[in-house]
């Protein structure tokens, strides 16, 4: 009885959080996290490559790595994090009410979400765009041939709106079938309820692995929207917001500076002042955020740099086989760019 | 005991300080509510979460695949609420009708002298009552959907009704102006039917003779239709669904989500209603059945005229709560993407707008109103049949 429990939870959580407590949104997340001795991180209900339990039940993925990086920065231990799987619909309520400290749930940064929901996006850990997946035997090569198609997708996502915009703009008819859980949307597409499954392109590759016959499906080349995915925190707690923002920046900077989980201990003795500042040998950058100066050292030691998390979770050697593309460093023609640690 | 006499006795018994205590408790309660509401609002403001009901007029921008009223992406969230509510009502009303019908027969079957029928009814009840509803919905949706053909290989009935894994495609009937004559023919025939039926009953009471109603009504209906045809011709156009591109276009399509939800809700609730009907019938004294047999009523007549009217008095109150359950259970629709109020309003609208407090509040109020209206109607009906029962009891 998923629905009932969700509504019940929304009501209880909102009544409790809004009516009785004064603390959730105030600038205290860090001290609450420290007292609790773990970071509570909102993730997806299972999206290979981004947040998904592995065969031993450990959460792995690019979004999971952001959570682990935050835990490493705060505690020096990337294991001090617990995960709350959330549906697309539940995620912002769970964050607003203080049920989780942060979201790393393949969540699109949009203006409405940033300005009206009481939340802040701290950056973009994956530049994505919405695409379509169809059966190969339909013989379709472009999403402009989808006139009259039924589309399976997830309820309460930007996907639903983008699909509506795209089909209207191109004067095509469509039928949207929106499921609360991604698994059910994929299952319905798998049984043939829909002609196409539409969501962020990275997720299309990930979900394709769950189909009975992945090779019988093809992801169409068009990208119909901008989907910058990033971590989200509650608005109004700048200290916590900084920690989450810089956890991602540290990984990008580390890649740029050639610091990896393997050489990070050696790099501590490096002469390059940028590396010395990043690893906390010089400066008090950690202290300024209320955590240890070796915050980035712990992130890189336990989680790795941006390239390492990308290749480990979604890269060419994984079943997803996604190339860096726009997610390459700015020095290599991509969009991943981090302000300097200075 | 009437309500008035209870109040009068209460007034007589309690003193002034009792009344004051009541007022005090009510005041404290009010203040608590006031404080809660104020606190929620101020906390929402402090967290920079938008509040208020202005979003009702904003453009929705998303599509819905089953709408009983005209809707497109340019309509606002208020319209979305109406679409979702109508979809909830559609599946609830049809579900209640189907569950009552089925439950009634299974309940009677459960009491049948025929061993096979009574055991089959028992097996039905035990299976459908004991499997969680969500699983049943999933079963009807995924289990059955999987085995249906793709649109290109649709099963068809005379090439104008089609059936595939996108649902049922039925021809739509577009009525022209002349259709009013046909409507008139139907209304006249219906009126005549009820009038004749009343007269036949009066005649039965007065003389004991049984008059036929169906034959004159049927004749009249045919004559009326013929007249309408002579005046207006055939003012109907059929819009037959045709396969074009991915799926059928034109006609009316009934989506599989609706079929699965309706099936699951009515089969599940029917098993509970069957037990209620059985209990109701068993509550009627054996002597009633024997007396009915003694005055020469046949089995079905005894059931119709003697047993069921008395059993109804026991059946109606628990039946009401089953109706309420069915309506509320229809919110499980969200699991299989049926666009009910929870899916399109407390789902998509909630995430697009982000105002959980307002939206959940409105949704709860709507379910509450639906439940109260259902209870009201059923209580009215219950009072009516209780009175009828009272006159001879």
| Residue B339 C-alpha, separation from nearest chain A C-alpha, in angstroms | 8
Angstroms from A334 CA to nearest CA on chain B: 30
- The pLDDT > 90 percentage for chain B reads 47
Residues of chain A predicted below pLDDT 70: 1-27
Assess contact for A229 and A124: CB atoms under 8 A.
yes
Q: Kindly report, residue by residue over B107-163, the tens digit of the pLDDT.
A: 999 998 899 999 999 999 999 999 999 999 999 999 887 788 888 888 888 778 888
Q: Give the chain B residue nearest A149 (alpha carbons).
A: B246
- List pLDDT tens digits, range B190-221: 999 899 888 888 888 888 777 778 888 888 88
pLDDT band at B387; cut points 50, 70, 90: low
The conformation of residue B149, written as its DSSP 8-state character, comes to P
Retrieve residue B293's tokens: 């047999």
Say what the pLDDT of residue A10 is: 53
Distance from CA of A305 to the nearest CA of B (A): 33
B99 against B49, higher pLDDT? B99
Is residue B319's pLDDT more than 90?
yes
Preferred mutation among A8, A116, A211, A237 to probe B, highest tally of B CBs within 10 A: A116
The one-character DSSP state at A199 is: E
Mutate to test the interface with A, among B40, B58, B140, B246 (most CBs of A within 10 A): B246
**Contact criterion met (CB below 8 Å) for A306 and A254:** yes
A179–B142: do the CB atoms touch at under 8 Å?
no
Fold classification of A27-127+229-332 is: D-Maltodextrin-Binding Protein; domain 2 (3.40.190)
- Protein fold of A130-225: D-Maltodextrin-Binding Protein; domain 2 (3.40.190)
Flag if A116 and B46 touch (Cβ within 8 Å).
Answer: no
Within chain A, all domains assigned CATH 3.40.190.10 are found at 27-127+229-332, 130-225
Which tops the pLDDT comparison, B234 or A252? Answer: A252
- Nearest C-alpha neighbor of A151 from the set A202, A182, A189, A184: A189
DSSP per position, A288-339 = HHTS-TTHHHHHHHHT--HHHHHHHHTSTTSSS----GGGSBGGGTSSB---
A236/B351 Cβ within 8 A: no
User: What integer pLDDT is reported at residue B151 of this predicted model?
Assistant: 85
Compare B111 and B15 and report the one with higher pLDDT.
B111
pLDDT band per the 50, 70, 90 thresholds, residue B30: very high
Report pLDDT for A11: 52
pLDDT digits (tens, 9 = 90+) for B67-119: 999 999 999 999 999 999 999 999 999 999 999 999 999 999 999 889 999 99
pLDDT score recorded for residue A65: 97
Contact B134 A1 (CB under 8 A): yes
Q: Pick from B331, B353, B352: which is nearest to B341 by CA?
A: B331
Contact A236 B46 (CB under 8 A): yes
Among candidate residues A319, A339, A336, the one with its CA nearest the CA of residue A128: A336
| Candidates A18, A25, A181; nearest CB to B40 | A18
Residues A327, A129: contact at Cβ < 8 Å? no
Q: What is the mean pLDDT of chain B?
A: 88
Handedness of CA A110, A111, A112, A116 (dihedral sign): positive
d(CA B167, CA B131): 25
ipTM of the complex: 0.78
**Taking the CB of residue B108, how many other CB atoms lie within 10 A of it?**
20
pLDDT at B19: 85
pLDDT at B1 over 60: no
Q: Which one is predicted more confidently, B3 or A154?
A: A154
Q: Which residues contact B209 (CB under 8 A, 6 or more apart)?
A: B203
Contact residues, chain A, for B244 at CB < 8 Å = 148
Q: Which of A75, A66, A69, A129 is nearest to A103 (CA)?
A: A66
Q: Inter-chain contact B49–A117, Cβ cutoff 8 Å?
A: yes
d(CA A128, CA A109): 11
Other Cβ atoms less than 10 A from the Cβ of A156: the count is: 24
pLDDT for residue B332: 93
A158 near A227, Cβ under 8 Å? yes
Q: A13, A193, A237: which to substitute to probe chain B, counting the most B Cβ within 10 Å?
A: A193
Contact A328, A253 (CB under 8 A): no
* Max avg pLDDT among A135-139, B226-230, B388-392: A135-139
Q: What is the pLDDT of residue B79?
A: 95
Between A3, A116, A164, which is nearest B73 by CB? A164
Cβ separation A164–B249 shorter than 8 A: no
Predicted pLDDT of residue A20: 46
Rounded mean pLDDT, B294-312: 88
- When CB atoms are compared, the residue of B36, B39, B61 closest to A161 is B61
Enclosing H/E stretch for B227? helix B214-232
* B196 token code pair: 């004749």
The answer to whether residue B295 scores a pLDDT higher than 50 is: yes
Residue B246's pLDDT is what? Answer: 83
* Arithmetic mean of pLDDT, B40-48: 80
Q: Name the residue among B36, B47, B332 with its Cβ closest to that of A19.
A: B36
DSSP state string for B239-303: E--EEETTEEESSEEE-HHHHHHHHHHHHHHHHHHHHHHHHHHHHS-HHHHHHHHHTT--HHHHI
């Amino acid at each position: 009885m998923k629905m009932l429990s969700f509504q019940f939870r929304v009501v209880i959580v909102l009544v409790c959080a809004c009516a009785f407590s004064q603390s959730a949104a105030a600038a205290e997340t860090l001290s609450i996290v420290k007292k609790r001795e773990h970071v509570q991180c909102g993730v997806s209900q299972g999206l290979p490559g981004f947040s998904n339990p592995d065969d031993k039940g450990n959460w792995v993925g690019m979004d999971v790595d952001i959570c682990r990086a935050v835990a490493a920065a705060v505690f020096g231990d990337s294991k001090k994090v617990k995960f709350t799987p959330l549906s697309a619909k539940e995620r912002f309520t769970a964050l607003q009410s203080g049920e989780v400290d942060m979201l790393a749930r393949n969540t699109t940064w949009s203006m409405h979400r940033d300005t009206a929901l009481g939340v802040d996006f701290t950056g973009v850990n994956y530049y994505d765009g919405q695409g379509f997946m169809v059966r190969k035997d339909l013989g379709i090569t472009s999403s402009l041939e989808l006139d009259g198609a039924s589309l399976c997708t997830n309820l309460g996502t930007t996907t639903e709106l983008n699909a509506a915009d795209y089909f209207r703009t191109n004067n095509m008819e469509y039928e949207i079938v929106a499921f609360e859980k991604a698994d059910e949307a994929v299952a319905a597409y798998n049984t043939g309820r829909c002609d196409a499954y539409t969501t962020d392109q990275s997720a299309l590759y990930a979900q394709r692995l769950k189909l009975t016959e992945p090779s019988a499906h093809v992801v169409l080349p068009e990208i119909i929207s901008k989907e910058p995915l990033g971590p989200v925190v509650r608005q109004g707690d700048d200290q916590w917001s900084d920690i989450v923002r810089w956890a991602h920046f540290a990984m990008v900077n580390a890649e740029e500076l050639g610091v990896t989980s393997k050489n990070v201990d050696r790099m501590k003795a490096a002469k390059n002042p940028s590396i010395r500042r990043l690893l906390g040998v010089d400066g008090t950058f950690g202290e300024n955020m209320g955590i240890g100066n070796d915050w980035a050292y712990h992130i890189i030691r336990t989680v790795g740099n941006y390239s390492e998390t990308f290749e480990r979770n979604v890269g060419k050697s994984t079943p997803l086989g996604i190339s860096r593309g726009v997610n390459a460093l700015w020095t290599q023609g991509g969009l991943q760019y981090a302000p300097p640690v200075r | 005991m009437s309500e008035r006499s209870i109040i009068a006795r209460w007034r007589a018994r309690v003193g002034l300080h009792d009344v004051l205590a009541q007022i005090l408790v009510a005041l404290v309660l009010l203040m608590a509510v006031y404080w809660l509401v104020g606190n929620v609002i101020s906390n929402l403001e402090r967290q920079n979460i938008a509040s208020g009901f202005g979003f009702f007029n904003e453009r929705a921008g998303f599509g819905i695949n089953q709408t009983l009223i005209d809707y497109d992406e340019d309509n606002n969230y208020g319209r979305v609420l109406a679409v979702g509510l109508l979809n909830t009502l559609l599946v609830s009303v049809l579900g209640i009708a189907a569950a009552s019908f089925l439950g009634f027969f299974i309940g009677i079957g459960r009491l049948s002298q025929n061993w096979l029928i009574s055991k089959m009814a028992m097996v039905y009840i035990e299976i459908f009552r004991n499997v969680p509803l969500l699983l049943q919905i999933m079963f009807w949706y995924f289990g059955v959907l999987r085995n249906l053909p793709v649109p290109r290989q649709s099963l068809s009935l005379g090439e104008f009704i089609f059936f595939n894994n996108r649902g049922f495609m039925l021809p739509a009937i577009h009525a022209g102006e002349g259709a009013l004559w046909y409507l008139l023919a139907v209304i006249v025939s219906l009126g005549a039917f009820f009038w004749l039926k009343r007269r036949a009953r009066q005649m039965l009471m007065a003389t004991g003779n049984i008059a036929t109603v169906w034959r004159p009504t049927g004749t009249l209906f045919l004559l009326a239709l013929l007249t309408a045809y002579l005046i207006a011709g055939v003012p109907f156009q059929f819009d037959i669904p045709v396969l074009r591109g991915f799926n059928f276009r034109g006609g009316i399509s009934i989506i599989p989500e609706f079929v699965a939800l309706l099936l699951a809700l009515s089969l599940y609730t029917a098993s509970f209603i069957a037990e209620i009907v059985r209990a109701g019938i068993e509550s009627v004294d054996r002597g009633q059945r024997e007396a009915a047999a003694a005055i020469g009523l046949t089995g079905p007549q005894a059931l119709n005229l003697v047993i069921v009217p008395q059993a109804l008095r026991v059946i109606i109150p628990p039946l009401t709560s089953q109706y309420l359950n069915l309506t509320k259970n229809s919110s499980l629709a969200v699991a299989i993407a049926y666009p009910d109020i929870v899916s399109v309003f407390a789902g998509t609208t909630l995430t697009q707008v982000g105002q959980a407090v307002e939206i959940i509040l409105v949704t709860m109020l709507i379910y509450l109103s639906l439940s109260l209206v259902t209870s009201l109607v059923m209580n009215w009906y219950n009072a009516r049949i209780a009175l009828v029962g009272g006159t001879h009891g």
